[in-house]
Amino acid sequence: MTQTNTVSYTDLIKNGIFKENTIFKLALSLCPSIAVTNNLRNGVLMGVAVLFVQVMVNITISLMRNFIHPRIRLPIFMLIISGWVTVTDLTMAAFTPEAYKQMGLYIQLIVAFASILARAEMFASKNKVVPSMFDGVGMGLGFLFALTVISFFREMLGRGSLWGFPIIYAKPLLIMILPAGGFFAVGILMAFFNWMSMRNAK
Amino acid sequence: MDFTKLFELIIGASLINNFVFTRFLGLCIFFGVSKKMETAVGMSITFTAVMMVSAALSWLIFNFVMVPLEITFLKIIVFIGVVAGFVQASDTIMRKVAPGLFYKLGIYLALISTNCIILAVPLINAGEYYSFIESLAFALGSGIGFALALIIMASIREKIELADVPIPFKGLPIAFVTTGLIALAFAGFSGLIKI
């Protein structure tokens, strides 16, 4: 991972949003991408929560990387991640009780996100604090971007509204806010991203 | 002990609130191991067993250690420790005691610790204040529900392999659309039992 030192910070962020987008490209951490995206506000809140946890975990691990014995690194990473998730969980329960009622369980389950552990293991444990922070910002923004796109389409088609404000005055497609609609939305968006990258490759 | 309540819990967790189709948990594993029937069955067996034991362990720890000490806000940290520790321990024990079984199911054991259902079940048990037996019933129901989902999906994906799918949809996207269709079917179970 020595070459990463020469990579600029904007590249780190771009990498997280496009090239290694957690949901559309790596297909990791899919559970919340469907569970909380039936309206835009929940999708964005979840994305912000993940962004926060990812950045804080990357910073913490990168600060401590010289003190962690390699053989017990995974349990330590898990401890750090669950610590920050608990912080997020309690903060959201206090400040956004309405949304927390609907997505509390999924906030707690950020702990089991493969993507957060993967970035900690692959990047933060080997790099200095500042690049790790930007890597976390990039991966988190990528996740936020994916959740925003999915929930944008689902709320617009399923309820005819955005962020709670009605914009389409027609009978909405109820199926899009049902569980099944989430699977359809992610499947079709993934196919769209595949199609885009295939067209660019030509 | 109220047996109808237990029965309701099992049916509720396995069909009505199926973890994969209505709560969207464990999707990474769900899409990962549902490519072949054989792996799907192996995963289902291991998963249900681990789920029962880890639900029981975390219930004991939650009610006898964390509640008296008033440290329930640490439940995320403690439960993930319990689950990861138990998976690691059973990996080691199985390798020594039952090498044949380990050869067959060991690989799924390692995967399980990254499954969010295994963490969600203790968290829900603690949040709903289920009794010990109720927690076990809930864990069993969740295990059966996950097994059902995996086996249905695996049998469909074996057919999709041979189908002529549009190129951008190949692989995961078509799997997602298929899951959406199964989820629609499972929506028919809602209202089966009032919980």
pLDDT tens across the length of chain A (202 residues)? 444 455 677 777 777 777 777 777 666 667 777 777 778 888 888 889 889 998 999 999 888 888 887 777 777 888 888 899 999 988 888 888 888 887 777 888 888 777 788 788 888 888 888 888 888 888 888 888 888 888 888 888 877 777 777 777 777 777 777 778 888 888 888 888 888 878 887 7
User: A198, B168: Cβ pair inside 8 Å?
Assistant: yes
Q: How far is residue B117 CA from its own chain's centroid?
A: 5
Which residues from chain A sit within 8 angstroms of residue B168, using beta carbons?
191-192, 194-195, 198
Nearest-CA distance B151 → chain A (Å): 18
User: A105, B180: Cβ pair inside 8 Å?
Assistant: no
Q: Which residues pair with A166 in a beta bridge?
A: A161
- Kindly report the backbone phi and psi dihedral angles of residue A166, in degrees, each rounded to the nearest multiple of 5, phi listed first: -70, 135
- Residue B119: predicted pLDDT: 83
- Residue B109: predicted pLDDT: 76
Which of these, B27, B22, B24, lies nearest to B115 by C-alpha position? B27
- Residue A146: predicted pLDDT: 86
DSSP character at residue A68: S
pTM of the model: 0.80
| Chain A: residue whose CA lies nearest to B119 | A109
A91, two tokens: 């903060």
Place of tokens 């019933």: B137
User: B123, A35: Cβ pair inside 8 Å?
Assistant: no
What type of residue is B84? A
* Domain definitions of chain B by residue range: 19-187
- Residue B193: predicted pLDDT: 67
User: B76, A27: Cβ pair inside 8 Å?
Assistant: no
User: B184, A178: Cβ pair inside 8 Å?
Assistant: yes
- Residue B195: predicted pLDDT: 52
- Residue B191: predicted pLDDT: 72
Q: Which residues pair with A162 in a beta bridge?
A: A165
Contact B27, B168 (CB under 8 A): no
Q: Where are the alpha helices (DSSP H) in chain A?
A: 9-14, 31-35, 40-64, 73-95, 97-108, 114-119, 129-159, 179-201
- Residue A169: predicted pLDDT: 72
CB neighbours of A88 closer than 8 A, spacing ≥ 6? A49, A52, A53, A107, A110
CB of A79 within 8 Å of any CB in chain B? yes
**What residues in chain B have per-residue pLDDT under 70?**
1, 113-114, 193-195
- Residue A3: predicted pLDDT: 45
